[in-house]
């Protein structure tokens, strides 16, 4: 791979707009004659500007129809922008429509050989790459069968394994990491992180906010062809999810509660929360402790839900006790919620109040001490009682 220029952005998109003509018989004839189409049009992207720093993956979050794939295809040179400019400083690899390279009568091995040849790898030097593709894809004997006999999952494994066998400077990723089973997805994430550590840059367009948290420190939200928000990925996820806060009139966490808590790894830990219940009726408590490392991952480490903590109006105290806190030193998100208690916990809960990073009002937990190797011991005890 050529020497990376760390002071130069890997990719710059400046005021990009893409307009598509709406299909009509007249426009078809005009395009066949090399003339510009006329009549009705559809604007898929409008005034899109962004920068991808060297060595970073930038996320683009958006629902179906937002224009994510159109933007990626413009960055990859598949489409031409109607207006604006794109600068790409390096060799870009598009992890989208990978199966379109060649015909499905090729075997998996022939597909890989063709891809490597297109990327400039002489046939005499292809053997180690072919071996890597075969091993990573886990296709076994099917590697020498025609692609038309593959299932969708087998094809996805072949395409991803082939496209990432070489180290490129820039990757354009379109939902590809969500394919295959859980085992193969974990391999994909590990490989992408390795490429990133080796200096790769890129863009990930997706509707899956967890994917953005795993790879991207910075992200944008694309809505109806426009970038409507930009910033740190966790903040963009909160905006993207746009979860409405409950009105908290029936039961709520008291304003007297702290918003930051401390604990020691490996030691018995207690957290106490005050809740105000406005009317008689069963109220349940839930909590989760989550590790959020922007650009690395998001994991729910401890979780408990639908624990009955109150049945009558008044102020109550909830005590959450965790024996031998099985968390390593670091910063965590402490999320808590109140809902109507369900004797049979099926279907969505009727949320009464919540504190969560996904709604922008989560509480912080700082764990200190030495690294702890203890496993999570369940059940975690939760006690509740009315205050005198």
Residue 293: which CATH number?
2.70.50.60
In a domain, 344, yes or no: yes
CA separation for the pair 300, 288 (Å, rounded)? 7
Express each pLDDT in 6-61 by its tens digit: 678 999 999 999 998 776 666 666 767 777 666 678 899 999 999 999 999 999 99
Residue 375 pLDDT exceeds 70: no
Last residue of a domain, one of 187, 212, 241: 241
**Do 23 and 125 share a structural domain?**
yes
By CB atoms closer than 10 A (0-12, 13-18, 19+), residue 20 is middle
In a domain, 109, yes or no: yes
In a domain, 311, yes or no: yes
CATH of residue 210's domain is 3.40.50.300
State the DSSP H helix or E strand holding residue 114, giving kind and residue range, or none if neither: helix 108-118
Residue 133 pLDDT exceeds 90: yes
**Do 260 and 167 share a structural domain?**
no
Name which of 300, 306, 244, 311 is nearest 275 in CA terms: 311
**Do 224 and 91 share a structural domain?**
yes
Q: What is the pLDDT of residue 127?
A: 96
Q: What is the pTM of this model?
A: 0.79
**Do 269 and 236 share a structural domain?**
no
Residue 385 pLDDT exceeds 60: no
Express each pLDDT in 232-249 by its tens digit: 999 999 999 987 777 778
Edge-to-edge strand ranges of the sheet holding 382-386: 251-253, 269-277, 314-322, 382-386
The SS3 assignment for 174 reads strand
Last residue of a domain, one of 207, 241, 275: 241
∠ CA(130), CA(131), CA(135), 5° rounding?
A: 120
The DSSP 8-state label assigned to residue 304 in this structure reads: E
**Do 351 and 215 share a structural domain?**
no
Residue holding tokens 């709604």?
A: 359
Residue 131 is encoded by which pair of tokens? Answer: 């071996």
**Do 281 and 225 share a structural domain?**
no
Express each pLDDT in 188-235 by its tens digit: 888 888 888 888 999 999 998 988 988 899 999 999 999 999 999 999
Residue holding tokens 């990491």?
A: 177
In a domain, 2, yes or no: no
What is the rounded average pLDDT of the residues 316-344? 91
Name which of 45, 38, 35, 106 is nearest 74 in CA terms: 45
**Do 212 and 183 share a structural domain?**
yes
Q: What is the pLDDT of residue 83?
A: 95
Residue holding tokens 């062809």?
A: 225
∠ CA(110), CA(112), CA(115), 5° rounding?
A: 110
In a domain, 4, yes or no: no
Q: What is the pLDDT of residue 95?
A: 82
In a domain, 6, yes or no: no
Backbone angles phi, psi at 214, to 5 degrees: -75, -30
Residue 107 pLDDT exceeds 60: yes
Express each pLDDT in 56-94 by its tens digit: 999 999 998 899 999 999 998 889 999 999 999 988 888
Peptide bond between residue 379 and the one before it cis (omega within 30 degrees of 0): yes
**pLDDT band at 379, cuts 50/70/90?**
very low
CA separation for the pair 181, 188 (Å, rounded)? 11
Q: From residue 356, how far is each of 259, 289, 307, 335 by CA, in Å?
A: 11, 10, 18, 5
CA separation for the pair 156, 191 (Å, rounded)? 15
Residue 27 domain boundaries:
11-241
**Do 85 and 197 share a structural domain?**
yes
**74: β partners:** none
Last residue of a domain, one of 196, 223, 241: 241
Q: Which residues contact 298 (CB under 8 A, 6 or more apart)?
A: 210, 213, 214, 290, 291, 292
In a domain, 118, yes or no: yes
By CB atoms closer than 10 A (0-12, 13-18, 19+), residue 337 is buried
Which segment of 13-17, 178-182, 226-230, 325-329 scores lowest on mean pLDDT? 178-182
Provide DSSP, 211-232.
Answer: HHHHH-SEEEEEETTEEEEEEE
**Do 32 and 176 share a structural domain?**
yes
Residue 104 pLDDT exceeds 60: yes
The SS3 assignment for 205 reads strand
Express each pLDDT in 273-315 by its tens digit: 999 999 999 999 999 999 888 877 788 888 998 899 999 999 9
- Please tell me the total count of domains within the chain: 2
**pLDDT band at 96, cuts 50/70/90?**
confident
Higher pLDDT, 6 or 184: 184
Residue 142 pLDDT exceeds 90: yes
In a domain, 5, yes or no: no
**Do 259 and 227 share a structural domain?**
no
**Do 335 and 299 share a structural domain?**
yes
Name which of 228, 187, 179, 181 is nearest 206 in CA terms: 179
Query: What average pLDDT does the structure give for the chain?
Result: 86
Residue holding tokens 């890997």?
A: 10
Percent residues over pLDDT 90 in the chain: 55
CA separation for the pair 18, 344 (Å, rounded)? 51
**Do 354 and 270 share a structural domain?**
yes
**pLDDT band at 180, cuts 50/70/90?**
low
């Amino acid at each position: 791979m050529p020497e990376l220029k760390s002071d130069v952005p890997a990719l710059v998109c400046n005021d990009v707009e893409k307009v598509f003509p709406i299909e009509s018989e007249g426009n078809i004839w005009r395009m066949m004659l090399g003339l510009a189409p006329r009549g009705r049009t559809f604007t898929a992207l409008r005034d899109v500007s962004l920068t991808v720093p060297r060595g970073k993956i930038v996320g683009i979050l958006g629902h179906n129809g937002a224009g994510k794939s159109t933007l990626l295809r413009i960055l990859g040179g598949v489409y031409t922008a109607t207006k604006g400019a794109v600068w790409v400083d390096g060799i870009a690899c598009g992890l989208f429509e990978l199966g379109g390279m060649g015909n499905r009568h090729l075997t998996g091995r022939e597909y890989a050989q063709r891809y490597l040849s297109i990327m400039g790898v002489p046939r005499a030097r292809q053997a180690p790459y072919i071996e890597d593709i075969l091993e990573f894809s886990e296709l076994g004997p099917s590697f020498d069968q025609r692609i038309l006999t593959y299932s969708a999952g087998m094809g996805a494994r072949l395409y991803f394994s082939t496209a990432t066998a070489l180290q490129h400077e820039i990757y354009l990723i379109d939902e590809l990491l969500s394919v295959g089973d859980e085992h193969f997805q974990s391999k994909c994430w590990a490989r992408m992180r390795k490429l990133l550590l080796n200096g790769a840059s890129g863009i990930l367009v997706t509707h899956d906010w967890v994917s953005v948290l795993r790879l991207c420190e910075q992200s944008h939200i694309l809505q109806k062809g426009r970038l409507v928000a930009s910033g740190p990925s966790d903040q963009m996820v909160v905006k993207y999810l746009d979860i409405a806060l409950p009105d908290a009139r029936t039961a709520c966490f008291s304003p007297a509660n702290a918003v930051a808590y401390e604990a020691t790894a490996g030691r018995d830990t207690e957290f106490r929360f005050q809740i105000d219940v406005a009317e008689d009726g069963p109220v349940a408590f839930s909590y989760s402790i989550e590790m959020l490392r922007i650009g690395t991952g998001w994991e729910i480490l401890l979780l408990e839900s639908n624990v009955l903590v109150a049945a009558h109006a008044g102020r109550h105290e909830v005590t959450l006790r965790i024996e031998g806190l099985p968390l390593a030193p670091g910063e965590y998100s402490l999320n808590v919620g109140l809902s109507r208690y369900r004797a049979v916990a099926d279907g969505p809960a009727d949320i009464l109040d919540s504190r969560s990073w996904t709604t922008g009002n989560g509480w912080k937990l700082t764990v200190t001490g030495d690294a702890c190797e203890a496993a999570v011991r369940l059940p975690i005890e939760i006690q509740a009682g009315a205050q005198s």
